[in-house]
Amino acid sequence: MELRDKVFSQLHGSDGPGLTSTQRVIAFAIVSSVLLAILGTEPELGSETLDAIEAAELFLGAIFLIEYALRVWACPSNPEYAGPGGRWRYVRRPIPLIDLLALLPFLVGAIGAESLILRVIRVLRLLALSKMLRYASAMRVVVGAVWDRRHELAFAMTLAGLMILVSSAALYIVEGGAQPKAFGSIVRAMWWSVVTLTTVGYGDVVPITPLGKFFASLTSIAGIGMIAMPTGILAASFSDGFARMRRKEEGQYE
């Protein structure tokens, strides 16, 4: 096996189950980098500790930069990226783009809260490292279940939007005069309506008139159905999808 093929196998996964030794090291480095990025936002740690965290981040950044360069160099070992323009096709794929995005803080020297999101994105690489096809199949089932029920879900979302609009208008009419800051317009009342219909109930805005409390009670009861409808749709779809996946694994798929 050529050196490039060996590097490709270590970085992209061998034919066997599980992760390669190199992938385990990279996965550990990814998690360590994210944890350091989170700790680096705490000013109470002291300047010496923060300087050590910054140095560790730079070290890990160098590792990720080398790993990214090796991935691009070795990608022609995959027939999909062989030939002219193969590496360019590889770097334009989602996972390599995420790699590059996560490397930006290191490349531009951005250390601080403004680069936290970019560094945390690196944890998504853990999905690409996984060789557990069972979980990949489960992900396809979940996405397929949502897509198969897209019309039912669209109807549920439309109905939810209508309920929000109606309840906001009702509270605007009955509570707008008593609480103009909270219910002085339908737009303002929508905050209360969304919080109530989703059963979150922050309690920062509440109706105070008897009629307002009555409509609020109806809204609260309607919220239970609004949450239950898409939940039931997805639950049935997930059940069907996983049942088909099990039949396929058992060789009984139609």
Question: Which of the four pLDDT bands, split at 50, 70 and 90, describes residue 15?
Answer: low
List, for residues 19-49, the tens digit of each pLDDT value: 778 888 888 888 888 788 778 777 788 888 8
pLDDT at 165: 92
Fold of 145-249: Helix Hairpins (1.10.287)
Question: Which of the four pLDDT bands, split at 50, 70 and 90, describes residue 253?
Answer: very low
Compute the average pLDDT of residues 66-92: 89
In terms of pLDDT, which residue wins out, 226 or 99? 226
pLDDT at 123: 57
Token pair in block for residue 40: 């680096």
Give the domain ranges of the chain.
3-131, 145-249
Cα–Cα dist 243/248, whole Å:
9
Token pair in block for residue 178: 């008593």
Question: Three-class SS string for the chain?
Answer: CCHHHHHHHHHHCCCCCCCCHHHHHHHHHHHHHHHHHHHCCCHHHCHHHHHHHHHHHHHHHHHHHHHHHHHHHHHHHCHHHCCCCHHHHHHCCHHHHHHHHHHHHHHHCCCCHHHHHHHHHHHHHHHHHCCCHHHHHHHHHHHHHHHHCHHHHHHHHHHHHHHHHHHHHHHHHHHCCCCHHHHCCHHHHHHHHHHHHCCCCCCCCCCCCHHHHHHHHHHHHHHHHHHHHHHHHHHHHHHHHHHHHHHHHCCCCC
Compute the average pLDDT of residues 96-104: 78
pLDDT of 132 over the 90 cut: no
pTM: 0.56
Compute the average pLDDT of residues 106-132: 55
Cα–Cα dist 30/63, whole Å:
10
Cβ atoms of residues 64 and 101 within 8 Å: no
- Looking at mean pLDDT, say which of 53-62, 85-94, 103-112, 156-165 comes out highest: 156-165
